[in-house]
Homo-oligomer: A and B are copies of this chain.
Amino acid sequence: MAASIEDVARLAGVSIATVSRSLRGLPDVAQSTRDRVLAAARELDYVASPFAARLASGRSATVGVVVPFVNRWYFAEVLGSIEGVLHDANMDLLLYNLGDMAGRERFFRDLPVRKRVDAIIIATLVLTEAEMDALRSLKVPIGVIGVDHAGFHSTRIDDRAGAATAVGHLIELGHRRIGHVAGDRADPMRFTPPHHRRRGYIDRLAAAGIDYDPSLEVLGYFTTHGGRLATEELLARPDRPTALFAESDEMAYGALVALRRAGLRVPHDIAVVGFDDHASAALMDLSTIRQPVRDQAEELTTRVLAAAAGDSAEPTSHVLPTELIVRGSTDPAHTIY
């Protein structure tokens, strides 16, 4: 049986209260006493039982992290970043992967985080009023990454401005017919990027006096495969575009495959710009909008942790900058294919 606080107290010749204080670094313990306790604890290889501590203190030293999918680049990146901050702060991380709408409904109905976390971090979901109510009922600080919701801590990028920058880059290169490989705005998970990025696309066209042409817009569903199919569809239409804006790099990869198969040269026949600066974008020589994924996750986690620790500042919404990265897929002096 593992050592308990009583064993340590006995060995150190003090009360369990003193052991508790010493080990947690609380004040009002003589240095000599503390040293004795630390030595005893080390000798017995003692660690406090987290459950006993949590029951007694009412704090769980745990945060719940909710992601729609763990196996997509963006969410995996976010999750890894959060994990780092949390464990550096000696917090446990309870993972919830929604997976699909059924999982999402189950989560908000059952609220499996109840009575077990000091804070919650949720990635990229636009929450319904009912979901927000459910979360608020937990009475713990809540952080949302990628979206902002009043009353919750949030960190995100400006998707709309980023998309406008991407499209502006194409316009400055002289393109007027710009195809749009879009994310699914009707996804039941209600992700926001497709809405904002599309707005940015339309904004920027308008600013350049280019008419918005719905026939240049096809859904790619945020997958590589979808990006390929969408591009094939665009190419099959009369008067094909001279450039493509894909709402995500992963869709852009699919677009590049479709273009290669169609025998079109990039960027000479068709230029392509993506969004995210995904891990493989540099390899694919894809121009894109870089977003600081890890920074967003770390910044948000840090603030949520402060809130959980009692910092009662009002929840705020932070926006981090994006950056246009020009690579071969739009550089006329270059050829990918």
Contact = CB atoms under 8 A, between A and B. Distances in A.
A278 to B, nearest CB: 11
A260 B337 contact: yes
Nearest to A83: B97
A71 B60 contact: no
A195 B48 CA distance: 41
A93 B284 CA distance: 36
Given A2-B115, A51-B116, A280-B224, A80 B84 contact: no
A69 interface: yes
A55 interface: yes
A65 to B, nearest CB: 8
A31 to B, nearest CB: 24
Contacts of A71: 73, 76-77, 79-80
A253 B225 CA distance: 15
Nearest to A93: B95
A254 B225 contact: no
A70 B84 CA distance: 11
Most buried by B among A51, A76, A79: A51
B60 A70 contact: no
B93 A50 contact: no
A112 B83 CA distance: 13
A87 B112 contact: yes
Interface string A81-123: 0011001000011111101000000000000101110000000
Contacts of A254: 283
Contacts of A99: 80, 84
Nearest to A250: B280
B55 A52 contact: yes
Nearest to A97: B83
A304 to B, nearest CB: 16
A47 interface: yes
User: A60, A65, A70, A73: which has the most chain B beta carbons within 10 Å?
Assistant: A70
Given A80-B99, A228-B283, 7 more contacts: A51-B54, A69-B80, A70-B79, A83-B95, A224-B283, A225-B283, A253-B280
